[in-house]
Each structure stands twice: as C-alpha cells, then as structure tokens.
Structure 1
Amino acid sequence: MSNPFHKICTLRTYIFVFLPICLKSLLLSGQPKTTNSESLNIGSISPKLAVQDWYYGAPITNIEKGRFYVVEFWSTWCSPCLKSFLPFNRIARKFKTKATFLSINVLEKKNYPKERAKQIIDSLKRTMKLDFSVGFEEEKKISEGWFGKIWDASVPLVVLIDSTQQISWIGDIENLKEHLTKVLNGEWDKEVAAKKRIEQQSIIKQDYETRDAVMPFFRNGYASDYFGNPDSVLSILEELERINPSAANGSNFVYHKFVALIKNDLILAEKYAENVLKINDDYYVDRYTSIINGLKYITRHQDVSPQLYSIGAKLLYEHGGSISKNLLIACNWFWLAGNKTESVKCLRKAKKVVKKAKNNGFGSFF
C-alpha cells in the first residue's frame, strides 16, 4: 500500500522537513533496551540440550561444568549451513582434545524428510572422518529454547560454551577459530563481549531504519536504480549520521552510501571504501559484504574505476575464496583493474575449488 504522504509532499519537503523528524523518532526508539530474563546473551547459562536422535558420534546429553563446548546449528534448506561443515570439521579436528563439538539440525518444517538430513551427513562420512557429533532436535525445543531467545539468530549459528556452562561467544563459522582460541586460552572477556554485542544489536536495529529511510528512492526495491539523483540518498544518510553517529556503522548505511557515491563521484567512492575497510572494529557489521555487494550491483549497470575493481577483487579473493562463483567474479574484476597476473592466479584457484568440490562428491548438497 502506497504512503499517501508521498503524494502530497515534494521531494525537497520529504528530505528537509519530514524526514529529519521521522529519523530522530526512529533512531531514539532504536536505542539499546534492557534484555529480559528470558533472553540469551554472552554470559548467560546455556539452555539444556533437547536432542531426539544422535545420528553420528557420541551422544551429548548435558552441558557439563569443567568442559568447553562448540555447538553448531544448521538446517537442510540452508546452503551456507551445508558449506560450513568442512571448515567446522577442520576446527573440530584441531581442537577436539580441548572442546566437545556437536552439530544439531534445527528449524525444519513439521513434516520435513529426516532422510534428507541423513543423506547429507552420509555424503560427508564417505569422504572424511567427522570429528563432531550430529543430532536432531526434539520437537522444536532447541529452535524455541535457543533461537527464540538469541537476538536476530539465524542458521548457520555457532555458540561457544565455557567451563562454567556460560555462553562465551555467539557467531559464525568464519570467526569461530579466532574466538575459540581466545576462550580456551583465557583471553576472552565475557563482560566486554556481552556489552559489545548489545551495542551491535542497537546498530543493526538502526540499520533497518536506514534501509527503510532510503527505500522511497528505489523504483522496485534493491534490484533497481535510485530515483534520479543519488544526492537525495546521501542527504538522508548525512541526516541519519547527524542524529546518531553510530548509524554510519551499519551494513545498509555502508552499502547505500558507497553505491550513491559511485554514481556521484568515483574518487569519493574509492576514498570511502578504503576508509571503511581500514577500520578494525566489529561495529562495522558486514562492511566487506556491503562493499562487495555494492560493486556487484553497480557493475551490472555501469563500469567503475580500475581502483574500485581492484578493491572488490581483493575482498572477494580474501573473503569469498572458498566459493568458485566469487572467485570467477574476482578474476574478471582483477582483469578490469589491469592486474592480469592476479586474474590468472585467481582463475587457477577457482579451478582447484571446482575440482575439489567434484572430488568430494557432495553433488547438489554443495
């Protein structure tokens, strides 16, 4: 349903009169709120494991004191979940004497074929020795008892539990090894991590508001172009940042500012991307993904500078190098950046990734 306000307001009125009032109200409502006693965060006591069947490995019935646990949650319909098994198993193999690793199938439809999940695990077992146990949740108890209480949780999800039965870290497989090492070595401050996670939640909530604020300047959503002038989007983002500086840390903010700058001034876009990527701070949620997706989107409509192609190619090669499709895009961007040597190197790596996937025999699962 269209907003009737848009029909009576000019674009200038929307940006300079109505928008600042709305944004201030939205951003104030997005400030950190006290979590209730039922929520799960870093420092919370881990819930009980409600596993109906253990399909592989030793059954884990309780989270015991004195032991460390690494719990991965996955679903059959989740492609990233299936791709995470390989790195998860590598980490489990390296740390198996120091922690217990388990992978639990969750969030399936009521009548999903359990055989589907077993086929996936069987395909893994044919090619490698699994160093983690695999179980299936009991009557949605983990989906509700864990996911329903972790803010913005989605699969694949990894939860680290320390020797005091407390949750030490919540995140993804990409960052697991780094944080697991810190937890095991006693280098992890749960209080600081819990506070940072709450602040990150606030940033993500504000970022949803950023997305909603720029949507009037799209014809048909994310796949289409801005209405006429990217200056309008930059004005909105500037106002968002003025009201609440932390809004600039969100992934939607980074994405939209980057794309708008490309349309306005390639030099400014280059500088913005370089500055964002230099910041070593977890508050910049998915900044790599924001820059990569911005380039993927914009290069479908126009060419960019060799410097931007180079930035995107390096990011894809470093952060998406395990996926052949990303590597092929990186190869093309290296070539367009004038770096033929890196383009050929990238192509060779892509061929190895494709060959390895075929040899593993994962078929349609991977």
Structure 2
Amino acid sequence: MTASMCMRMVLSLTIFGASIAAAAQTPASQVSAATVKPSPAASQPAEPQLPALRVGLAAPALKVAKWVKGEPVEQLKEGNIYVVEFWATWCGPCRATIPHMTELARKHGGQATFIGVSIWERPAEKTEESLLALVEPFVKEMGDKMEYRVAIDGIGREMAQSWMAAADRNGIPCAFIVGKDGKVAWIGHPMSMDTVLEEVIAGTFDVQAEAKRQEAEWRQQQERIKLERPIRDALSAKDYKAAVEAIDKALAAVPAMEEDLVPVRFNSLVQFDQTAAFAYLKTLLEKGVFEKNPYHAFNAAVIVSRNADKIQNPDYALVLAALEKAQAGQQDNPSVLAIYAETLSRVGRNGQAVEIQQKAIQLGEPLVGKGLTQAWVDAQKARLEEYKAKNK
C-alpha cells in the first residue's frame, strides 16, 4: 500500500504492501466495459459533493455498542479534547499504531481523552456477541500496549457510518481530533498527529487552514478517482493494452499517481507486451525507484513468478537486480525472502537461494495461523529441497 493516511486502496490486489490490480479478482457480476454504452448523463457525472463530516464541523455522537476497556465516554463534552481512532482486529497497520496511541495517551493524560473504536470487524455471526468475542481477547492480549479507552462499533455500524463514511474515509487506522469547541480539528493517520495534537492542546492549531488544506486534498483525490475509472474498466474487461493507455493518461495528468500505479502498469504490460514490461522494469531500476520503495521490486518479482508460464523470455537477472536494489535479503518478511530465493535460483545462484529460503522458513513458521498457512510453509520447504538438489 502506499504510505497513505486513511487512504483507500487504489486498485484491488495486495501482494507486498502495494496495490496490484488483477482481472481475476473482478467480480463475475461486473460487465465488460467494452459492451456498455454509457448514457449522456452517465458520461458526465455530477460534481462530487464535499463529505458531510469535515474539519471545522461538529463531531458526531459516540454511539458504540460496548466499551471493553476504560471508563465509558457517554458524550463528547465541550471544553475537552478527544482523539477518536478507528481500527480493527484484522488490520495489521492498526496493530502497529496501537503502541504509538498509548504513548500519546500517556504523554497527554489529563489534556486529551483517547478512544479507540473497533469497526468493520468480520465476525462469524452478525451478532454483538460475535463482535465482542473478536475484540475483547485482542484487547486483553495487547495489555498495557493498548492503554486507553476502547469501544466496539455495533452490527449496525453506526460509528463507521456517522464518522468514517460521513468523512469519506475508507482506510484504517484513522484518527479524528475533536477540539474543545466540539468540532473536528483534524482527520488523518494516527502516526501523523503528534504535532497537530500538541497544537490543538495548546490552542495554536489553525483549524480553518487545515480545513482548506484537507478540502484541497479531497478534491485532488476526486480527480484521481476519475482518472482511475477507465483503468478499472479496462482491467475488468481484461483489456490490458487499454489499461496501460489509461494509466499513461492518468500519469500525464497527475504524475504523483505513479507510486500507486507502478505495479499495475507492470502487471498489465506482462499480459500483452513482455518486451515492453521488462523495458519498463529496467527504466524503474535506472530511476532508482526500488531504493525509494522496495515493495515495487518485490511485487515485480511476484508478478513475473505468477506469470512464468506465459512469459517467453523472462529477464530474471533484471528482476534480481531490482530485488537487490531493494535489499530483499535483509528483509524480515518471509514472503519477500521466498520470492528472492526463487529469483536467485532462476539465475543459477542456488547456494544463496538455499540460505535465503532457510531464513524465509525460519521466519515463516512462527507466523502460521497469524497471516501464513502451514501449506505455505510446506511449499517453501519443498522448494528448499529443490534448491539444495540444484546446488549439488
């Protein structure tokens, strides 16, 4: 994923923290864009309306299903400052943010009230009891790493609707700072709010300027959404050439979109013009893209691996160069290490592949049931034996 702050995924399939579109993920109910003739009204969409909840507007009420930690907050009282952060038990970035929230809560104790609200949970049954069964053990496990008030949004998702959806925020973790006047002073990623919170507490934060900044950011995002639409349509129709053309048009209009679209463009090129795909990969390598964002290299390697049966002349040496620029061997992500080992083996460096694959398995085994499956570990062990056999 990009280093977004409460930003949505740009396109659908995530491999290594970056968004990758895959036509195979398109719902069967979605009709090919090429078969649809839009009406005049559809071809000229209405101007998007600003979110109902924005910086400078009154904060919604707290309508949680249950408080699971700390003293309940029945209402947001004027004269007090609140940090309302939205998260979920299944959200890795949320888990990573929790200790920082605790650090801020301890630092600003008595000056601001911190509330973590679990939303968008995925219970086995749609009951409040099932929600509680997910969240309570998680909070208990976090212990003093999660040292602030915690509540659960109900099955009706009132908090998700009245806060997140109303603010047009589609990603978590996401924090709202509510000022002493009861109005939203700031919305963003919890890891980015330290200075803002200090200024809100000190009474020096310029809420009006922040409202203008966030509105401008929102309008830019709407432009990006418009530019993404033909990319999505082309991918849904599996028209990869059209997807690349739409991507290039989007990048010409908003060059900053390249950070999100690098893997999508490479994946699309692989489907219909492999020479151009590897030329693009070489350009990215020469521009230093993989040093700036290693995930682009990891994703490129996965794309090549997944399409190995259709690529006639794969340039594994180039893929390996990208991985090494991204320092793949120094990563602690077992999946990254596994794809690095596979690429090493592809270029004949089987001794090093064995070493890296052993590291991948060692790091992966403790994660079974926590993001990895036993089947994945077993598959990597089988590959390790293959690398050993080739290294003899």
Name 2:132's counterpart in structure 1. Answer: 117
Summarize deviations over 1:79-100 as a string: whole Å, max 9, x none: 3x2x345323311232122254
1:161 is matched by which residue type in structure 2?
I
Q: Is the 8 A contact 2:338 2:357 kept in 1?
A: yes
Name 2:362's counterpart in structure 1. Answer: 351
Q: TM-score, normalised by structure 1?
A: 0.64
Structure 2 CA distance for partners of 1:278 and 1:5, relative to 1, 3 Å:
closer
2:283 is matched by which residue type in structure 1?
K
How far, CA to CA, are the matches of 1:63 and 1:347 in structure 2?
53
Pairwise CA distance, 1:50: 0.9
How far, CA to CA, are the matches of 2:288 and 2:280 in structure 1?
12
Summarize deviations over 1:70-128 as a string: whole Å, max 9, x none: 41232x6xx3x2x3453233112321222543222334678335245335432552463
How far, CA to CA, are the matches of 1:239 and 1:87 in structure 2?
36
Matches within 5 A, 1:128-143: 128-129=143-144, 130-137=146-153, 139-143=156-160
Aligned mate of 1:254, from 244, 256, 262: 262
Matches within 5 A, 1:218-297: 218=239, 226=240, 230=241, 233-239=243-249, 245-246=253-254, 249=257, 253-261=261-269, 263-265=274-276, 266-272=278-284, 275=287, 277=289, 292-297=298-303
- The yes-or-no answer on 1:73 pairing with 2:94 is no
Q: Secondary structure at the match of 1:51?
A: coil
Q: Is the 8 A contact 2:94 2:173 kept in 1?
A: no
Matches within 5 A, 1:153-168: 153-154=170-171, 156-164=172-180, 165-168=183-186
Q: Is the 8 A contact 2:297 2:319 kept in 1?
A: no
Name 1:90's counterpart in structure 2. Answer: 99
Q: Is the 8 A contact 1:160 1:180 kept in 2?
A: no
Name 1:35's counterpart in structure 2. Answer: 50
How far, CA to CA, are the matches of 1:192 and 1:342 in structure 2?
49
Name 1:203's counterpart in structure 2. Answer: 224
Name 2:119's counterpart in structure 1. Answer: 106
2:234 is matched by which residue type in structure 1?
A
Pairwise CA distance, 1:316: 9.3
Pairwise CA distance, 1:212: 0.7
Gaps of at least 5 residues in structure 2 are: 1-29, 200-204, 309-313, 373-392
Summarize deviations over 1:160-192 as a string: whole Å, max 9, x none: 315354241234xxxx32x12232354896232
Name 1:311's counterpart in structure 2. Answer: 322
Pairwise CA distance, 1:195: 1.5
Q: Is the 8 A contact 1:59 1:133 kept in 2?
A: yes
Q: Secondary structure at the match of 1:45?
A: coil
Gaps of at least 5 residues in structure 1 are: 8-17, 219-225, 281-286
Q: Secondary structure at the match of 1:269?
A: helix
Q: Is the 8 A contact 2:84 2:114 kept in 1?
A: yes
1:204 is matched by which residue type in structure 2?
I
Q: Is the 8 A contact 1:207 1:251 kept in 2?
A: no
Q: TM-score, normalised by structure 2?
A: 0.60
Name 1:55's counterpart in structure 2. Answer: 68
Name 1:222's counterpart in structure 2. Answer: none
2:165 is matched by which residue type in structure 1?
G
Pairwise CA distance, 1:321: 6.1
How far, CA to CA, are the matches of 1:340 and 1:45 in structure 2?
62
Two-structure CA RMSD over aligned residues (Å): 4.7
Structure 2 CA distance for partners of 1:153 and 1:321, relative to 1, 3 Å:
farther
Structure 2 CA distance for partners of 1:346 and 1:148, relative to 1, 3 Å:
same
Q: Is the 8 A contact 2:227 2:250 kept in 1?
A: no
Q: Is the 8 A contact 1:317 1:326 kept in 2?
A: yes
1:208 is matched by which residue type in structure 2?
R
Summarize deviations over 1:199-240 as a string: whole Å, max 9, x none: 12321342133221344344xxxxxxx5xxx5x554454455
Summarize deviations over 1:301-325 as a string: whole Å, max 9, x none: 134443434535776969x967544
Q: Is the 8 A contact 2:340 2:356 kept in 1?
A: no
Identical residues among aligned pairs (%):
13
1:33 is matched by which residue type in structure 2?
P
Q: Is the 8 A contact 2:176 2:185 kept in 1?
A: yes
